[in-house]
Amino acid sequence: MATFTRSDDLQGAEFVEADLRCARFVRADLSGVVMRGVEVQGADIDAPWLFDGEGFLRVNGVDVIPLVEAELNRRFPGRADRRAGDPDGLRTAWATLERTWAATLERVAAMPAGTVDVSVDGEWSFAQTLRHLVLATDAWLGRSILEIEQPFHPIGQADAGFGTDGRDMSIFTTVTPLYAEVLEVRAGRVATVRDFLATVTSEVLAATRKNPHAPEYQETVLSCLHVILEEEWEHHRYAVRDLDAIEAESGA
């Protein structure tokens, strides 16, 4: 099977009558791709940035982004509040997220031992997903909003792009932590967000901060919180998707 990596220049490439059945695109930039007369039965697209900006995704001439957005909001009550713009709205949005994750944690606790460490199709396990949310909170609340110089907990799970800016990765553990520790640290980060939102004001939301990954760019406190909310909902969606797959595989 041929493998094409970041070093391969495929921009503007043309595939004519090419057999791409079961090909897999991971962290690939397919923006602006045009497909004509293609067979896409069974295709599975996951694009977490689909709702950012003013772009479109047309299937047979229909922009499906609004349809996907509405369906995800239906499946995940409270998701539509992730872009709340005032203190009360943000507090409500976070409270809903806490209840949503609590229910999912209960679901996982009732599943067979070891479920939290199962990876589906090479994706993060449930425990790794929680560890990534620890890191996301540390970056956008701890580093940006609270301006803590080194806010990162060692168990944080970094994605592929983290550290490409020269960040010291030695602060993160190379040993897989116990799930109980992951739960404890994650609960502490959830409480930190809750406590911050409990007293946040409109003036604070409008204040500017440095982007944690690109300090030369400015963010508002509100935009930082929106990133946290987006991370929470997207990774919850991934987690539920993979838990469903695990249950289906086991015949539960």
Q: What pLDDT, on the 0 to 100 scale, is given for residue 164? A: 52
pLDDT of residue 78 exceeding 80, the answer is yes
Share above pLDDT 70 across residues of the chain, in percent, rounded to a whole number: 96
Cβ-based burial of 178 (10 A; exposed 0-12, middle 13-18, buried ≥19): exposed
**Residue 161 covered by a domain:** yes
Q: What pLDDT, on the 0 to 100 scale, is given for residue 165? A: 58
**Residue 58 covered by a domain:** no
**Residue 111 covered by a domain:** yes
pLDDT of residue 46 exceeding 80, the answer is yes
**Residue 6 covered by a domain:** no
Total structural domains within the chain: 1
Instruction: For 9-22, write each residue's pLDDT tens digit.
Output: 788 888 888 888 88
Q: What pLDDT, on the 0 to 100 scale, is given for residue 252? A: 55
List Cβ<8 Å contacts ≥24 apart for 136-140. Answer: 136/227, 136/228, 136/231, 136/232, 137/189, 137/190, 137/192, 137/193, 137/228, 138/189, 139/212, 139/213, 140/212, 140/224, 140/225, 140/227, 140/228, 140/231
Rounded to an integer, what distance in angstroms lies between the CA atom of residue 82 and that of residue 72? Answer: 12
Q: What pLDDT, on the 0 to 100 scale, is given for residue 163? A: 57
pLDDT of residue 136 exceeding 90, the answer is yes
Residue 166: pLDDT band (50, 70, 90) is: low
Average pLDDT value for residue range 70-83? 95
Q: What pLDDT, on the 0 to 100 scale, is given for residue 12? A: 81
**Residue 21 covered by a domain:** no
Q: What pLDDT, on the 0 to 100 scale, is given for residue 232? A: 98
Mean pLDDT, the chain, rounded, equals 91
Which domain does 89 fall in, by range? 82-250
**Residue 72 covered by a domain:** no
**Residue 107 covered by a domain:** yes
Average pLDDT value for residue range 86-111? 98
Q: Which residue has the tokens 């809750």?
A: 194
Rounded to an integer, what distance in angstroms lies between the CA atom of residue 235 and that of residue 231? Answer: 6
Q: What pLDDT, on the 0 to 100 scale, is given for residue 47? A: 84
pLDDT of residue 6 exceeding 90, the answer is no
What does pTM read for this prediction?
Answer: 0.89
Average pLDDT value for residue range 207-214? 95
Residue of 209, 240, 237 whose CA lies nearest to 222: 209
At 240, which CATH number?
1.20.120.450
H or E segment to which residue 242 belongs: helix 221-250
**Residue 65 covered by a domain:** no
Residue 28: pLDDT band (50, 70, 90) is: confident
Q: What pLDDT, on the 0 to 100 scale, is given for residue 104? A: 98
Residue 66: pLDDT band (50, 70, 90) is: very high
Residue 161: pLDDT band (50, 70, 90) is: low
